[in-house]
Structure 1
Amino acid sequence: MKIKHKAEQRHVLTLVVDNEAGILAKIAGLFTARGYNIDSLTVSEITEDHTTSRITIVTHGPPAVIDQIHAQLDRLVPVHKVIDLTEEGPYVERELALVKVAGKGEHRVEALRLADVFRARPVDTTTGSFIFELTGTPDKIDSFVALMSELGLVETARTGVVGMTRGAKGV
């Protein structure tokens, strides 16, 4: 695991882009060419006519690097808007996870009890395993996964962070 310098901060960036072939490669290439890391990346169409997408990127770095990332993303032609949710003000962020846990007896009962506490919903059940669906902050999901690792965690799949500013204002 890379140790982050004290001045590095986590930032959630939202981009509104044209939904065209190669845009994700351009953005990933920008990060790669400059040695920046992407901690989380999600993409989805946001218009009915499928012409516009929203990309959410979680990255980290000192303020000067974050400013440089923002400026370079803003210069890409198919990018309409770049918003740093971390700087914009109050925002909501969520991530979806599927967590598979195998176990019998008390481990099975405890997994169900903890899932209830975390509001994780069983979406698949067999006599020897569960797949739980959990939505929340990355910290909440990390905590749930850590607890399930003691009860028979088999695997996890996570979507990555999505976020938006609070209030009536949109992108």
Structure 2
Amino acid sequence: MKHTISVLVEDEAGVLTRIAGLFARRGFNIESLAVGSAEQLGVSRITMVVPGDEQVIEQLIKQLYKLISVLKVQDITQQPSVERELMLIKVNANASNRAEVIEITQIFRARIVDLSEEAVTIEVVGDPGKIVAIIQMLNKFGIREIARTGKIALVRESKVNTEYLKSLEAKVTL
């Protein structure tokens, strides 16, 4: 199972290297990694997606807490949270298929950020499922390049689990 881990760290040189080293020494793979300033000056938030079972993740969290600059570690996988990812995707789009590419872009509420005679660059922001879905739709045109930020996430203060609500909604419409 994939786990989303949120780590608050002191914003100082070498913190990310120490965390990456911890993962490497234990043979863990980081599937997604995003780092940026947090709400407090001098603190950064690292959001990682890591595969592993509950025991492995529990051990990993204990090991992270042993690092000097780590302030707080949370496995937010099972908590109601808001998840987003940013992707830039460059797709072949000539005169014959450009209208269809633009239509798909609009359906996914994405934005065209660059246009040429032969290609379109699209900015997509959304949950990881949306990112995968638009890639599948645009694949038939030929994808030239993709750049993705990795997942970022925050726990919902409302504690409302939107995934649970979506599943209820789907049952009602069936």
- 2:98 paired residue number: 108
Q: Secondary structure at the match of 1:15?
A: strand
- 1:72 paired residue number: 63
Tell me how far apart the structure 2 counterparts of residues 116 and 45 of structure 1 sit (CA, whole Å). 31
Tell me how far apart the structure 1 counterparts of residues 97 and 143 of structure 2 sit (CA, whole Å). 11
Question: 1:16-51 deviations in whole A, cap 9, x for unaligned?
Answer: 1001111001000000000111000010112564x1
Stretches of 4+ aligned residues off by more than 4 angstroms: none
Tell me how far apart the structure 1 counterparts of residues 93 and 158 of structure 2 sit (CA, whole Å). 45
Tell me how far apart the structure 1 counterparts of residues 93 and 3 of structure 2 sit (CA, whole Å). 37
**1:58 CA displacement:** 0.5
Tell me how far apart the structure 2 counterparts of residues 150 and 107 of structure 1 sit (CA, whole Å). 11
Tell me how far apart the structure 2 counterparts of residues 90 and 103 of structure 1 sit (CA, whole Å). 38
Is 2:54 the counterpart of 1:63?
Answer: yes
Unaligned runs of 5+ in 1: 1-8
Tell me how far apart the structure 2 counterparts of residues 18 and 63 of structure 1 sit (CA, whole Å). 26
Tell me how far apart the structure 2 counterparts of residues 47 and 131 of structure 1 sit (CA, whole Å). 31
Unaligned runs of 5+ in 2: 160-174
Tell me how far apart the structure 1 counterparts of residues 137 and 96 of structure 2 sit (CA, whole Å). 14
Where do residues 1-171 of structure 1 align in structure 2 (5 Å cutoff)? 9-47=1-39, 49=41, 51-87=42-78, 89-167=79-157
Q: Residue 92 of structure 1 contacts residue 166 of structure 1 at CA under 8 Å; is this kept in 2?
A: yes
Q: CA RMSD in A?
A: 1.5
Q: Residue 81 of structure 2 contacts residue 155 of structure 2 at CA under 8 Å; is this kept in 1?
A: yes
Q: Return the TM-score normalized by structure 1.
A: 0.88
Q: Return the TM-score normalized by structure 2.
A: 0.86
Question: 1:51-76 deviations in whole A, cap 9, x for unaligned?
Answer: 11010010010111011111111121
Deviates more, 1:143-152 or 1:95-104: 143-152
Residues matched between the structures, number: 159
Aligned sequence identity (%): 41
Tell me how far apart the structure 1 counterparts of residues 13 and 92 of structure 2 sit (CA, whole Å). 40
Q: Residue 40 of structure 1 contacts residue 160 of structure 1 at CA under 8 Å; is this kept in 2?
A: yes
**1:105 CA displacement:** 2.7
CA 48–117 in structure 1, closer or farther in 2 if over 3 Å, else same: same
**1:152 CA displacement:** 2.5
